[in-house]
Chain A
Amino acid sequence: MRNFALCYINGRPHEITGDQAFMTVAEYLRYEKGLTGTKVVCSEGDCGACTILVSRFSSGAMGEYKSINSCISFMYLLDRCHIVTVEGLKQENHIHEAQQKMLDSHGAQCGFCTPGFICAMAGMAEDLKISGKPITEQKVKNYLTGNLCRCTGYSPIIEAGKSIDLTKVKILGNVFNDKNIAQTFTDLKDTSLLIESKGREAFLPGTLNEVVEYKTKNKKCSVTSGATDLGVQLNKGHSVQGKILSLNNLTEAYEILDTEKALEIGAKASLTDIEKKCEKSFPEFSQMLHLFASPQIKNKGTLVGNIVNASPIADTIPFLMVAGAELDIVSDSGKRTVDINDFYQPGYKKLDLKDDELVSKVSIPKTSGQFKLYKVSVRKDLDISTVTFAAKYEIENNKFKSIDIAFGGVGPKVLKVSGVSNTALGQTLSADLFSKLADDVISEVTPMSDHRGSKEFRFKLCQNLLLKFGKEIMNKALV
C-alpha cells in the first residue's frame, strides 16, 4: 500500500502525501509550488480560470492530455498523472502556438481568465492534431465552452483559436517525453493508495475486492469518482465525510463495453469518453452530453456520479430512465442488478442503495425505439437545467407502438409521466393528441419555484415540450 501520490508537474516528479494530498490541485499549484498562472475564480468548476491539462497513466502508457478544472480536483486523485499548467506550455522562451495567437489577436485583456483559456485551447490543439481534424469556429467554441471571459466578448478569443496553425503545435507527449514518465509509473509497484492526514483518509484501491471490503468496513465513507461535486461541496464549506473512497486507481472502472445488446459503462468512464462512444448507438444522448457540461467537467465527471448524485435536475437521468438503463451494484455479498427506474425511490435523493453498496457500472440496453431529448436552461450552454425532457418511442402506422416519457426539474426526483405515456400509447399522432397530453401532464408533475424559474414556468415548459415533441415527430412522419 502506497502512502503517497506520485504525479508529474510540467515534466518534474512530485511525491505528495499528508495534508498536501487533500489540497485542491489549484491550491497545491498556487500556494505550494508558486505556479500562480493557474487562477481560481468560482471554486466550482463553472468558469474555467483554473483549467490545467492532465494526462493519466493507463495500461503502461500516458493517455491524451485533457483539460480539467483544478479548483475542484484533489491532489490524491492525480496519482499517476502528468499535469501541464500554463507555465509548462512555454518551453525555453518559446511560447505555445495558442499563447502566440491569443497574444496576436488581443485575446487577453485583463488576463485573469487567460491562462485557463490558453490551457483549454492548447488541449483543443492537442486533440485535433492527434485526431487529424481541422480547426473550425464551432470546434473552437465547443472546446472553450467551459471558460468564462468578462472582458473580450469572446470574438478576439474565437479569432485566436481559429488562427492556430496545427503544424506549429508540438504534441505535449513529445515535448515532455511521456515514455519516461510512463516508465516511472510502471515501476511503481503498488497501485493501491492510502493517505491519511488530520482525521481525513483517502483510499484509492487497485482492485474491486479492496473497494468492496473498504465500503463494508466504512459504510459512511464518501465514494467519489471525478469529485466534480465533492470538490464544490468542500470549497463552499459544506462538511464532507472524513473518509473518501475513490475508484480512481481501478483500471477496470474506466471501461466502456459496446456489445450487441448494450452499452456497458464503468463507474470511472468519463463523460467525454461516453459522449464519443454513444455517437453511433445513442446519437441523441451523445448530442445531449454535448450540451451537458464543459469539456473540463466532462473530462473528469462520470455518468455513474451523475446517477448516484440523484439530482432531480440531473441531465442524464431522464434519458437513462426511458432507455431502461440497468445498474450493477456491488457489495461484500456480491453483485445485483437494478432497473434505474426502481433505483430512485419516492422523495428527494432516496436511493435503493445500501450503505455498504456502490454502483460499479451502468448498462444502456440497445432495444428498438427512437429518442427525443430536450433541455431548457437560462443559458443554453453550460447551465443547470430548468426542465429536462426525454422520450423513447416507436411509431407504427402513424400510431405510438410504444412511448415512455420522463421529465427532470419537476419534482423531488426525475419523474416518468406514466399517465401521459399511457394515454398516448396506441393513439394516432395528431395535434389534438398532443394538446391533450399537454393538458394532462399538469396533474402528474409537481415543480417548485427557484432562481432558475417559477413553478408556473416549469408547468408551461412541460406542456410546451410535449407540443414541441409532437410537432417534431409529426413533421418527421410526414417526410
Chain B
Amino acid sequence: MIGKNIPHDSGLAHVTGESVFIDDRPMLSNEVHVGMITSPVAKGKLLGVSFDKASSHEDFLGFWTAKDLANKNWGTIVHDQPILVESQISYMDEVIALFACKDRSSLLEIKQLVEIDIEEETPIFSISEAKAKESIIYKAPKAFEQGDVKASLSNAPHTLEGKFICGGQEHFYMESQAALAYPGENGQIEVHASSQHPSETQRVISEALGIPLHHVVCVVKRMGGGFGGKESQAAPIAAYAALVATKLNRAARLILSKDDDMKITGKRHPFENDYKVGFDKNGKILGLDISLQADGGAYADLSASILERGMFHADGAYYLKNCSISGICYRTNNHPNTAFRGFGGPQGNMTIESIIEDIAQFLGKDAFEIRKINAYQGNNLKTPYGQVFENNLLPELFSGLYDKSDYQKRLKKIEDFNKLDNGKVKGLSMTATKFGIAFTARFLNQGNALLNVQLDGSVQASTGATEMGQGVNTKIQQIVAHAFGIEARSVQLMTTSTEKNSNTSPTAASSGSDINGAAALKACNMIKGRLCELANLIFQGHKSDDLQEYEIKGKEIDPNLIFENGNITHKKTKQKTTFVELINTAYLNRVSVSGYAHFKTPGLGFSKEKVEGKAFNYFTQGTVVSEVTLCEYTGDLKVDRTDIFMDLGRTLNPGIDQGQVSGAFVQGMGWVTAENLVYSDKGNLLTHSPTTYKIPNIQDTPRVFNIDFIKNDDNDCTVHRSKAVGEPPFILGISVWTAIKNALSFRAKKGDLVNITSPATNEIILNELTRLKEGNGFS
C-alpha cells in the first residue's frame, strides 16, 4: 500500500464532474449573493461610501462597512490589516464595503450604483521608493553569517557585483476565492471556505463577528487549487460571507470572479537582491554578501516568514564558507503579497543560480563545472544559518543527472548549433533544489487526526490537512489502510472541519502529509494497540460472556501481530482473526475503536535573534537540466527538453509525487518566463485574467520531459521515510531562466555579462539580444 500508485481519492469524482466545490453547492431558497465594493485608488482617505442609489435597486438587500465589524483588523502574524477599509486605503482594489442581493446577475448592476468619496494620496509602488522613504514591514534581526565575508571578498581574485530582480506571480488557482456561510442556532455559524487554513479562517470569522470560537465551524471539502494563495487570504473572504449571513440571518455566498480575485488578492513577493561575490579562477565561491529586499505590499500578511525563507534558501545547493545574508521587506501600496509555493525560497535560490551563470560566463567555463565544485559535499557542512546539512544527496543528484541527461554531448551539440547563423540560439542549464522542510515558526509543526473505525471494518479519517489537488488525502488514505492492513477503498478521508480537528496548521510548507500523515499513523497505532491486546486475549483462549468482558488496559502494538489483507495474524502461532471480527468484538466489549492523536515534529527550534538551532527537519533535494531555444528575431522561447532527478525519500505514491513534480516545475517555469504582472502607473493590475496573464499552456510543457527519483531509504525522520514534495520542485523551474541566460551568453561579446530580469518575457529576451549585439537595447 505504501509506495503504490493508487489513483487520487477524488479522481473518479473529478473526471465525472461530481466533485463538489463551493459554488457547486445547491442554493438554499433564501440564500443571498455577496458583492464587494473595492477601492479605485492605491492610496487615500475614504471619506464616504454611499449606497443611496444602490438601495433603490429592487434586488438590494443591504450593505455593511467596517462599522459593522466587532474587530477591525486581521493578520496571520501581526493584526495590521483592516478586514474592511475604515478610513485609510492602502492598495488598489482593497475591499471597502459589502452588499447583498438575491440574484447573481444583480451583483454587477448594484456595484455600478455605489458611490465612493476619496481623498487621494501619493502611493509607493517600488522597492526603491519604499527604501528611500524607509517604509518597512520587517527587517531580519540578524544576518546569516558564516566565516569572514569581508576578508574573503577583499582577498578574492575575482569579484562580481550586481542586483538580481524577479517579479511576482499570480497563483491562478482555477477556483477563485469562495465562501458560503450558513447561520445556525444560538449565534453559531458554519462557513464552507476554499481555504488552506480552516483554523485561521475560523479565528478571523470569530474576531470579525465578535463571537466565540466554539460558535464557528469552518468546513473545507476541497479547493480548486491553492498554491499558498488560500493560506492566509482566504480568511477575510470567509469573514465577509459570515458577516452578511449573520446580519441577514440567511445563507450568504461570496464567489469571486477571476478578474476580481486577481486584482484584490496578494501574490508572490517580487524581490530585488543586491550581491557581491568573490571567487577564484576555477569558479569556487570564496565569499558572498547578499541582501534580500522584498516588496511586501501594503500589509504584513506572511511577509516576515517569507523573507526569512528567502534568506534560508539564498545558499541554494551550494556551500558558502564565507557569507552574509541579510533581509528586509518593504511596505508599498501594492496588494499585500502572500504565500506562494516556495514561500520566498525560490527568490533566494534563484539569485545564487543567476550568480553562478555569471561566474561561468566571466570565466568562460560551463556553469555545471562551477555548480559541481560549489555544491555541498558530505554530511557535516554547515548552512549559513548554522544547521548542519545532513543526508546530503546533492553530489549524486548532480553527477547522476549529468550522466542520465547526456549533458556533455548535448552541450557540444548546442555549441555547434549556435555557430550556425539560423536566427536561433540554444542554451542549457542544470540547477538544483535543497528545500528545508518544516514551518520556520515552530508552533505550526503540529497536527492532529481523528479516526473512526466502523463496524464493517471501514474507516473514516479526519485530519487538519486540506485537499487542494496535491493528494494529501490519498497519502493519508494509504497510511491508514497500510496500518490496518485493509484496502485503500476501505478508508475514507472526511471533509476537513474545525469541529473535528482544531488548532490545526495551514496545509502549507509542503508539510501536509508529513504532519497529518504522522498524526493519522499515531491514531492508527493507538487503536491497533488496543486491538492487539484484544486479539492476544482471544488467541490465548480468554472468553467474554454476559458476566465477564475483555478488559483492555492500553498497551503498545504487539509486533507479533500482523495486520494484512483484512486479517490479523499472529506471527508465531499463526492464529488469525479478521479485522471486521476484531472490531466487532471490541465494540461488544466496550473497547474504543476510534482514535485521536496529536503529533509534533520533534527536535525543531531556531532563534532568528541568535541565528542558531535547527530550522528544518530535513531537506528535499533535486536537480534539473533544461534546454531552450530562442528566436533571435522575436525573442520567442521554446523549452526543448527538461530532465529532473528528485530525492523524495521513499515515495508514498509515485503517481501523485510525479504529478507534484511536473506541476511544480511548470508553475516555476511560468514564473520565470511568460507570467508578467503589469500595473498601470496608478497601480491597477492590467493583466488580471488569462487573456492577458499567461500561465503555461499545454504547448509550453517541455517537448521532452523526464522525471526520475533517486533511491533513498534513509530519511528516518518522517512517516514511512517519505519526503515532502509540494514546493521543492517549483525551484527547478528556475533552470529554464538560467538556460535562457546561457543561450544569451553565446551572443555576448567578450567581457560583457548577460543581464536579464525575471520573468524573461519575449520582450526582455529580445531587448537583451539587441543589447548584446548592438551595444544598446531598445528599451
Contact of B225 among A151, A157, A451, A452 (CB under 8 A): A151
Q: Is B530 part of the binding interface, using a Cβ–Cβ cutoff of 8 Å?
A: no
The complex places the Cα of A94 from the Cα of B330 at a distance, in Å, of 56
Given contacts A376-B636, A460-B766, contact A237 B108 (CB under 8 A): yes
- Interfacial chain A residues near B13, Cβ < 8 Å: 111
Could you tell me if B699 and A145 are in contact, using CB atoms closer than 8 angstroms? yes
The answer to whether the Cβ of B104 comes within 8 Å of any Cβ in the partner chain is yes
- Interface membership of chain B positions 694-709, coded 1 if the CB is closer than 8 angstroms to chain A and 0 otherwise: 1111111100010100
Minimal Cβ-Cβ distance residue in B for A381: B699
In the complex, B662 has a CB within 8 A of chain A? yes
Q: Which of A68-113 contact B (CB under 8 A)?
A: 85-87, 89-90, 95, 98-100, 102-113
Which of A39, A103, A109, A237 makes the CB contact (< 8 A) with B659?
Answer: A109
What chain A residues lie within 8 Å of B661 (beta carbons)?
A: 153
List the A residue with the shortest CB-CB distance to B172. Answer: A150
- Give the distance in Å from the alpha carbon of A384 to the alpha carbon of B19 in the complex: 33
The reply to whether the CB of B686 lies closer than 8 angstroms to some CB of chain A is: yes
B20 and A39 contacting across the interface, CB-CB below 8 Å: no
Instruction: Give residues 679-717 of B contacting A (CB, 8 Å).
Output: 686-687, 689-692, 694-701, 705, 707
* Per-position binary interface string of chain B over residues 304-336, scored 1 when its CB falls under 8 Å from any chain A CB and 0 otherwise: 000000000000000000000000000000000
B175 at the interface (CB under 8 A from A): yes
- Please name all residues of chain A whose beta carbon is closer than 8 Å to the beta carbon of B185 when the two chains form the complex: none
Interface centre among B176, B227, B676, B763 (most CB of A within 10 A): B763
CA distance A454 to B17 in the complex (A): 42
Q: How far is the CB of B16 from chain A (nearest CB, A)?
A: 5
Q: Chain B residues with Cβ under 8 A from A114's Cβ?
A: 14-15, 17
Given contacts A109-B471, A453-B763, contact A384 B15 (CB under 8 A): no
Q: Is B11 an interface residue (CB 8 A)?
A: yes
Say whether, besides A150-B173, A153-B664, A109 and B17 are in contact (CB < 8 Å).
no
Interface contact A454-B763, CB-CB below 8 Å: yes
The answer on a CB contact under 8 Å between B678 and A451 is yes
Interface 9-mer from B21-29, B365-373, B549-557, B580-588: B21-29
* B residues in contact with A36, CB < 8 Å: 17, 20-21, 23-24
Is B10 a contact partner of A111 (Cβ separation < 8 A)?
A: yes
Given A109-B469, A109-B470, A150-B225, are A156 and B662 neighbors across the interface (CB < 8 Å)?
yes
Query: CB distance A148 to B174 under 8 Å?
Result: yes
B125 to chain A, nearest CB (A): 16
Interface string of A98-132 (1 = CB under 8 A from B): 11101111111111111100100000000000000
- A199 smallest CB distance to B (angstroms): 13
**A133 touches B (CB below 8 Å):** no
B665 surroundings in chain A (CB, below 8 A): 153
- Asked if A7 is an interface residue, CB under 8 A from chain B, the answer is no
**Cross-chain contact A39 with B174 (CB below 8 angstroms):** yes
- Whether A152 contacts B659 by the Cβ 8 Å rule is yes
Interface contact B16-A460, CB-CB below 8 Å: no
In the assembled complex, the Cα of A211 lies from the Cα of B10 at a distance in Å of 50
Contact with A along B119-146 (1 / 0, CB 8 A): 0000000000000000000000000000
- Could you tell me the distance between the alpha carbons of A149 and B172 in the complex, rounded to whole angstroms? 9
CB-defined contacts of B667 to chain A, threshold 8 Å = 150, 153
Flag A451-479 by CB within 8 Å of B: 1 or 0 each.
11110110111001101100100000000
B-contacting 9-mer, from A40-48, A273-281, A419-427: A40-48
Contact status A42-B690, CB under 8 Å: yes
Q: Per-residue 0/1 for B637-662: is the Cβ within 8 Å of any A Cβ (1 yes, 0 no)?
A: 01000000000000000011011011
Q: Is B379 an interface residue (CB 8 A)?
A: no
How far, in Å, is A293 (CB) from chain B's closest CB? Answer: 11
Min distance, Cβ A468 to any Cβ of chain B, angstroms: 4
B595 CB to nearest A CB, Å: 29
Q: Does A379 contact B (CB under 8 A)?
A: yes
Query: What are the interface flags for A431-461 relative to B under an 8 Å C-beta threshold, 1 for contact and 0 otherwise?
Result: 0000000000000000000111110110111
CA distance A438 to B694 in the complex (A): 30
B390 interfacial contact with A, CB 8 Å: no
The answer to whether B779 touches A457 (Cβ under 8 A) is: yes
In the complex formed, the residue of A with least CB distance to B669 is A153
| Bound complex: CA A381 to CA B633 (Å) | 18
Tell me, yes or no, whether A38 is within 8 Å of chain B by CB: yes
- By a CB distance below 8 angstroms, the chain A residues around B659 are 106, 109, 151-153, 156
In the assembled complex, A49 has its CB within 8 A of some CB on chain B: yes
Q: CA–CA, A31 to B253, complex, Å?
A: 14
Query: Does the CB pair B690–A46 fall under 8 Å?
Result: yes
Instruction: Contact check, A110 vs B174: say whether CB atoms are below 8 A apart.
Output: yes
- Determine the residue in chain A with the shortest Cβ distance to B654: A106
Question: Are B658 and A150 touching (Cβ within 8 A)?
Answer: no
Is B634's beta carbon under 8 Å from chain A?
Answer: yes
Given contacts A154-B666, A378-B762, A457-B766, contact A87 B16 (CB under 8 A): yes
B770 touches A154 (CB 8 A): no
For B108, the chain A residues whose CB sits under 8 A away are: 237
The yes or no answer to B263 lying at the interface (CB within 8 A) is no
Nearest CB in chain A to that of B634: its residue: A376
Q: B223 near A: Cβ within 8 Å? A: yes
Of residues A377, A450, A453, which shows the largest number of chain B Cβ atoms within 10 Å of its Cβ? A453
B761 on interface, CB distance cutoff 8 Å: yes
Task: Tell me the complex Cα distance, A464–B635, Å.
Answer: 10
Task: Decide if A456 touches B227 in the complex (CB within 8 Å).
Answer: no
Q: Which among B423, B674, B695 is the interface contact of A468 at CB below 8 angstroms?
A: B423
Please report the C-alpha to C-alpha distance between residue A150 and residue B662 in the assembled complex, in whole angstroms. Answer: 11
Q: Are A104 and B690 in contact (CB under 8 A)?
A: no
Q: Give B636's nearest chain A residue, CB to CB.
A: A380
Chain A residue numbers with a CB within 8 Å of B16 are 37, 86-87, 89-90, 95, 99
Residues of A within 8 A of B23 (CB): 30, 36
CA A377 to CA B761, docked complex, whole Å: 10
Is B84 interfacial (CB 8 A cutoff)?
no
**At the interface, yes or no: B18 with Cβ under 8 Å from chain A?**
yes
**A window 120-178: CB within 8 A of B:** 141, 144-145, 147-158
Partner pick for A148 among B19, B27, B697, CB 8 A cutoff: B697
Which residues in B have their C-beta under 8 angstroms from that of A464? 633-634, 766
Verify if A383 is at the interface (C-beta below 8 Å from B): yes
Given contacts A111-B469, A153-B663, A457-B763, are A38 and B658 in contact (CB under 8 A)?
A: no
**A350 touches B (CB below 8 Å):** no
Which residues between 269 and 326 of chain B lie within 8 Å of chain A, taking CB atoms?
A: none
Q: Which residue of B lies closest to A47 (CB)?
A: B690
Residue of B nearest to A472 (CB): B423
B-side contacts of A110, CB under 8 Å? 173-175, 222-225, 468-469
Contact among A30, A44, A118 with B691 in the assembled complex (CB-CB below 8 Å): A44
Q: Which residues of B contact A85 (CB under 8 A)?
A: 17
With an 8 A cutoff between CB atoms, is A382 at the interface? yes
**Across the interface, do A454 and B658 meet the contact criterion of CB distance under 8 Å?**
no
B634 partner residues in chain A, CB cutoff 8 A:
374, 376, 461, 464-465, 468
A42 pairs with B689, CB closer than 8 A:
yes
Q: How far is B666's CA from A39's CA once the two chains are assembled, in angstroms?
A: 23
Q: How far is the CB of A320 from chain B (nearest CB, A)?
A: 22
Asked if B248 is at the interface (CB within 8 A of a chain A CB), the reply is no
From B468, B705, B779, A155 is in contact (CB under 8 Å) with B705
- Distance (whole angstroms) from the CB of B765 to the closest CB of chain A: 11
Known contacts A109-B469, A237-B112, A378-B676: A468-B633 contact under CB 8 Å: yes
In the complex, which residue of chain A has the Cβ closest to the Cβ of B697? A381
B212 at the interface (CB under 8 A from A): no
Within 8 A of B (CB), among A178-222: none
Q: A103-B7, A150-B174 are in contact. Are A42 and B663 (CB under 8 A)?
A: no
A-B contact pairs, 20 of them (CB 8 A): A38-B17, A39-B175, A41-B258, A42-B689, A42-B690, A47-B174, A85-B17, A95-B15, A106-B11, A111-B14, A112-B21, A112-B224, A114-B14, A145-B698, A153-B696, A374-B634, A381-B697, A384-B691, A461-B634, A464-B633
Given contacts A103-B11, A156-B662, 13 further A-B contacts (CB under 8 A): A37-B17, A41-B690, A42-B689, A105-B655, A109-B470, A109-B471, A112-B174, A148-B690, A151-B663, A153-B696, A379-B674, A457-B767, A464-B633
Ranked 3 nearest A-B pairs via Cβ: A37-B17, A110-B469, A112-B224
